Structure 1
Amino acid sequence: MNRRSSALAVAVLVLIGGAPAPARADPAPPRLVWGECADDLPNVPLDPAVRCARLRLPVDRSRPHGPTFELAVARRAARVPARRVGTLVFGPGGPGDSGVERIRRGDRFSDELLDRFDLVSFDPRTVARSAAPVCAPDPAPRRPPIPLAGPADFAAAVAWNQALWERCRPTSAVFDHADTLSTVHDLEALRRALGERRLTFHGSSYGTLLGQQYAERYPDRVRAVVLEGVFDHSLGVRAFVRTQAAALQDAFDEFVAWCDRSVECVLHGRDVRSVWAGVLARADRGEYAPRTAFDVTAVALGMLAGPRWPQLAAEIRGMDAGSPPGELRLSVAVGVFCADWPAPVRDYDEYAGLVREATAAAPDVRYGAGLLAVQTCLGWPAPVRNPPHRLRVHTRTPLLLLNARHDPRTGYAWATNVARQLGRHGRLVTYEGWGHGTYQRTDCTTAVVDRYLVDGVLPAPGARCPAAP
């Protein structure tokens, strides 16, 4: 991360929903025709082991003969064909991450998986090469700050969001059909087009929602599903905001403890919480304008995901000396995100209650990503296409969940709650360390996932992997 910029990738889910409808038989998907990928990634040369294709699918599954779009797909061939197990489909996170780019880069997988699976992924609806909308903000109106400061800001945020979506909508055939449940059906069509009898899947972060809902809709077609950095699609809006803020506070507490004991921290020997509070106070006084206290918090959210504790300490020292935080850059597939998660916040008073909820759960970091999630979807049409609900999964093979104990984005409380919903149809492995994304953190986390995907071997109940030294 550039010292003067902070990227914030959020994703979120909530509220109540009904039972899933039974899975329906799909018409046979078109054949995948593999060819050379477009040379569109800087510093990533084309690799003959990687081929690309486009899968033409219905925009709306309820209208199989209606309008269509093309799903961009990439495949990296197994390096040792004689030991090939099958095809592993990777579910990208975000929402907004490109699976095609993950396959092109090839850096998300262990050597064993690279040897033994054809690795396949895709750009989900509205992402990158799959009917991505062109919806740049109108430069005329000012985007309301985060958090909103009053009723006028609340009304402006709704108007700003709706104007943005109106610019997006005509530029993408799938903008109003981008929810994760629609992508579940795309994933099933992809499985069939690949000729796989059952699905082997590894979902990361927001991609875990895709894995959960696929297993719910198509339980008999699951071979193995890994959920790494687990999203909980069953929370009400207050619980969502509270748990996201609490996860960030927990990660910040771990950073402070490291600073207190480590001379590597440039704030070692100082009262880190006091320095941090002073930085937030400067933001509240407008000393970093137009950056706000939320931009300060975003610095922590971005760097604690690594975790990149030394860099965060340096950033805090710089802000304490007067340097402003970097600009908040939100890159999220709104058509996916807002269609999966309703933000039923009627007015500023309700919104202010959520701000208080977050601050109570996270007294040092105040907000968490949850408030940005709420603000991103204010004004989205109700009801949403993919309403949240408690999971009802009944697969022969339990799903494998992997989560860090101190994850600032998909907090450990989410993983444990999803594991409770899965019951005997899920198995949670705890990484006793820090950061967002745990698969290749240690030999233990890598082996747990690889043995499950390759051999179908589940770890023992309550399995844990120690933190990296």
Structure 2
Amino acid sequence: MPSNPPLVPRVRTRGRLAVGALVTALFGQLLAGTAVAAPAAETLSPGHIAWKPCASPSGQGTFECATLKVPVDWKRPRGATVDLALARHRATDPERRIGSLLINPGGPGGSGVDFAFSAPESFSPDLLARFDIVGFDPRGVGLSNPVKCDADRVKAQEALIYPDSASSFAALREANRALGESCRDLTGPLVDHMDTGSVVRDMEAIRAGLGERRISYYGVSYGTAIGQQYAERYPHRVRAMTLDSNMDHSLGRWGFQKTEAAAVEESYGQFADWCARTASCALHGRDTRALFDSLYKRADAGDLVLPGDPPQTVAPQDLQSAALSYMYDPASWFDFARLLTELDASAPAAARSLRTYGEPTEFPFYPVMCQDYDFGVSSYATLARFERELARRAPVTRFSPLGWTVQTGCQNWPTEVTNPQRRLRVDGTPPILMTNSRYDPATPHSWGANAARQIGREAVLLTYDGVGHGDYWLSPCARDAIDTYLLTLKTPRKGTHCPAVWPTGPSAQRQSPAGGLVNPLPDLLGTGTYGRTA
């Protein structure tokens, strides 16, 4: 989360315009895309990538860009293809170059091309010296034929994403199907092949195209799902792999919901405790948990507004989404405390509409998640039972809007669940370094611990004892461990903990405590717009 994250209305554009922005944290601002290519005349030959010089938006660093053609459907390699967009930052010390480090920022929906462009500011000088940093936009994202859906359908789904009755649940199911069908109509057959298994095959084609016998990889958030499943399918192609803020692809409906709800509740609790001991927090001396409960009840009654010209009415889910967003990086907590103070002092006002309709909008989140997770429920009664139990377990924040909308948004989605939940089976890789914050609002620590248990002896789990998402930019200790491992293959001891880092003053920069590096995730994942994703 940036030090100046968006106020509630930007999060509120939720749909995928904001649930997407919101849920696209896992679990960005995407670039313009290219069209699906005509069917290939011959079998792909992934042994060559034609790089050309290109410039990053900031003008920093030496970059090359390219595209790589891969099948839309890997079961039909001679069929339609899609061009994957790639960017790489060349190693600054080529004589000591180790190889290529593939990176992915998560989402689903984060741009790996933009992630690579951020490398000069976001990765340590040691990594920049020894690796070519290579980012790619996954299929359906950014410059890799972005999934587009009808904005009318996105907004229709957004209005129903929190059903409160059997009839609204039935309407949501219809809206989800209509949205998914619009994505297929506007994008083509790629929409039916957005699962992580297909992305893993794409990544192997990139490895071959780079000419690397084995690849090094750093993935954060949803990027850990790509890494986990790559290690499972191609264990002998891994040189080193760091998985930061881990997904757990083994969880069923209830396991996913309860762990997500607990993660947001515990993270907000850490924020409340920090305010209690930090005199410069705008809420110092107040019961910050009770304040959130009060604001939630006002929002539920339609009496909570965001100050502005004109002011905007805040829904309960907007408040929850803002809380989730601000937990991504404690550097934003001074701003969050001020926002809650302003909301508490506000008076009722009429809502303002910011909606536009009908235009195609980039929307990759559900096409991926709904092919990776089977979260179907039989009735609204099941959802209502989940909601009551989550509120009992998380009495302040009640549930995770990220976890909840993944489930509700996938009900009756028209594409097949081609990569459903299952336990990982990894065998034959070198040691894999996994890191997780103890209080991660999007990918709970329990997910990292469970994924590490599934991987087994190859996994080394490091715990950062603070709050946030993306340990590399939150903890100098975690960053040093990751750098050391990627450079030397030396892992920390299993069970290693890194101490929490707490904000000591507001900052206008998104500078992390990890060596002055800039945390790129808020912009890449939409937390600059949230966290949509994991």
CA contact (8 A) 1:215 1:393 kept: yes
Matched residue SS, 1:467: coil
Q: Which residue of 1 aligns with 2:337?
A: 313
CA contact (8 A) 1:9 1:332 kept: no
The change in CA–CA distance for 1:141 and 1:228 in structure 2 (over 3 A counts) is closer
The change in CA–CA distance for 1:203 and 1:380 in structure 2 (over 3 A counts) is same
Cα distance in structure 2, aligned partners of 1:252 and 1:227: 24
CA contact (8 A) 1:444 1:465 kept: yes
For residue 343 of structure 1, the aligned residue among 371, 375, 382 is 375
Q: Which residue of 1 aligns with 2:45?
A: 28
Cα distance in structure 1, aligned partners of 2:352 and 2:388: 25
Matched residue SS, 2:52: coil
Amino acid at match of 1:312: F
The change in CA–CA distance for 1:167 and 1:349 in structure 2 (over 3 A counts) is same
Indicate yes or no: 2:113 matched with 1:100. Answer: yes
CA contact (8 A) 1:148 1:154 kept: yes
Amino acid at match of 2:290: S
Indicate yes or no: 2:259 matched with 1:243. Answer: yes
Cα distance in structure 1, aligned partners of 2:256 and 2:438: 18
For residue 222 of structure 1, the aligned residue among 238, 249, 261 is 238
Q: Displacement of 1:142 after TM fit?
A: 7.1
Which deviates more from structure 2 when the two are superposed, residues 149-158 or residues 328-337?
328-337
The change in CA–CA distance for 1:101 and 1:174 in structure 2 (over 3 A counts) is same
Q: After superposition, where does 1:3-18 map in structure 2 within 5 Å?
A: 3-4=7-8, 5-6=10-11, 8-10=22-24
CA contact (8 A) 1:299 1:326 kept: no
Q: Which residue of 2 aligns with 1:455?
A: 488
Relative contact order, higher structure (CA 8 A, sep 6+): 2
Q: Displacement of 1:357 after TM fit?
A: 3.0
Indicate yes or no: 2:130 matched with 1:116. Answer: yes
Indicate yes or no: 2:217 matched with 1:204. Answer: no
Cα distance in structure 1, aligned partners of 2:493 and 2:156: 55
Indicate yes or no: 2:315 matched with 1:301. Answer: no
Q: Which residue of 1 aligns with 2:300?
A: 284
Matched residue SS, 1:135: strand
* Number of matched pairs: 453
CA contact (8 A) 2:104 2:220 kept: yes
Amino acid at match of 1:317: T
Indicate yes or no: 2:95 matched with 1:82. Answer: yes
Cα distance in structure 2, aligned partners of 1:137 and 1:371: 21
Q: Displacement of 1:171 after TM fit?
A: 2.8
Q: After superposition, where does 1:250-399 map in structure 2 within 5 Å?
A: 250-288=266-304, 291-307=314-330, 308-322=332-346, 333-368=365-400, 369-381=402-414, 383-399=416-432
The CA deviation string for residues 198-253 of structure 1, in whole angstroms up to 9 with x for no partner, is 11101110000000000000111111111000000001100100000000001011
Cα distance in structure 1, aligned partners of 2:233 and 2:499: 34
CA contact (8 A) 1:134 1:168 kept: yes
Q: Which residue of 2 aligns with 1:21?
A: none
The change in CA–CA distance for 1:143 and 1:400 in structure 2 (over 3 A counts) is closer
Which deviates more from structure 2 when the two are superposed, residues 134-143 or residues 386-395?
134-143
Which deviates more from structure 2 when the two are superposed, residues 230-239 or residues 305-314?
305-314
Q: Displacement of 1:144 after TM fit?
A: 3.0
Q: Displacement of 1:423 after TM fit?
A: 1.6
Q: Displacement of 1:356 after TM fit?
A: 1.9
For residue 80 of structure 2, the aligned residue among 55, 59, 67 is 67
Q: Which residue of 2 aligns with 1:164?
A: 179
Q: Displacement of 1:382 after TM fit?
A: 6.8
The change in CA–CA distance for 1:213 and 1:328 in structure 2 (over 3 A counts) is farther
Amino acid at match of 1:361: R
Q: Displacement of 1:381 after TM fit?
A: 4.0
Amino acid at match of 2:477: C
Cα distance in structure 1, aligned partners of 2:429 and 2:85: 30
CA contact (8 A) 1:295 1:327 kept: no
Cα distance in structure 1, aligned partners of 2:347 and 2:130: 49
Q: Displacement of 1:358 after TM fit?
A: 2.1
Cα distance in structure 2, aligned partners of 1:118 and 1:380: 39
CA contact (8 A) 1:203 1:211 kept: yes
Q: Displacement of 1:354 after TM fit?
A: 2.0
User: Sequence identity of aligned pairs in percent?
Assistant: 40
CA contact (8 A) 1:294 1:367 kept: no
The change in CA–CA distance for 1:274 and 1:442 in structure 2 (over 3 A counts) is closer
Cα distance in structure 1, aligned partners of 2:183 and 2:156: 17
Which deviates more from structure 2 when the two are superposed, residues 319-328 or residues 206-215?
319-328
Indicate yes or no: 2:476 matched with 1:443. Answer: yes
Q: Displacement of 1:65 after TM fit?
A: 0.6
The change in CA–CA distance for 1:222 and 1:68 in structure 2 (over 3 A counts) is same
CA contact (8 A) 2:271 2:333 kept: yes
The change in CA–CA distance for 1:342 and 1:382 in structure 2 (over 3 A counts) is farther
Q: Which residue of 2 aligns with 1:144?
A: 159
Query: Which runs of 5 or more structure 2 residues have no equivalent in the other structure?
Result: 12-20, 28-42, 305-311, 356-361, 503-534
The CA deviation string for residues 40-86 of structure 1, in whole angstroms up to 9 with x for no partner, is x8xx2445611110000111111011111100111110011111111
Q: Displacement of 1:133 after TM fit?
A: 2.2
Q: Displacement of 1:2 after TM fit?
A: 2.6
Cα distance in structure 1, aligned partners of 2:346 and 2:370: 36
Amino acid at match of 1:226: T
Cα distance in structure 1, aligned partners of 2:422 and 2:122: 30
Matched residue SS, 2:342: helix
Cα distance in structure 2, aligned partners of 1:405 and 1:52: 37
Cα distance in structure 1, aligned partners of 2:59 and 2:184: 33
CA contact (8 A) 1:110 1:440 kept: no
Q: What is the TM-score normalised by the length of structure 1?
A: 0.91
Q: Displacement of 1:396 after TM fit?
A: 3.6
Q: Displacement of 1:105 after TM fit?
A: 2.2
Matched residue SS, 1:138: helix
Cα distance in structure 1, aligned partners of 2:343 and 2:286: 15
Amino acid at match of 2:172: A
Amino acid at match of 1:303: Y
Cα distance in structure 2, aligned partners of 1:389 and 1:440: 30
Query: Which runs of 5 or more structure 1 residues have no equivalent in the other structure?
Result: 14-25
Q: Which residue of 1 aligns with 2:359?
A: none
Cα distance in structure 2, aligned partners of 1:174 and 1:97: 18
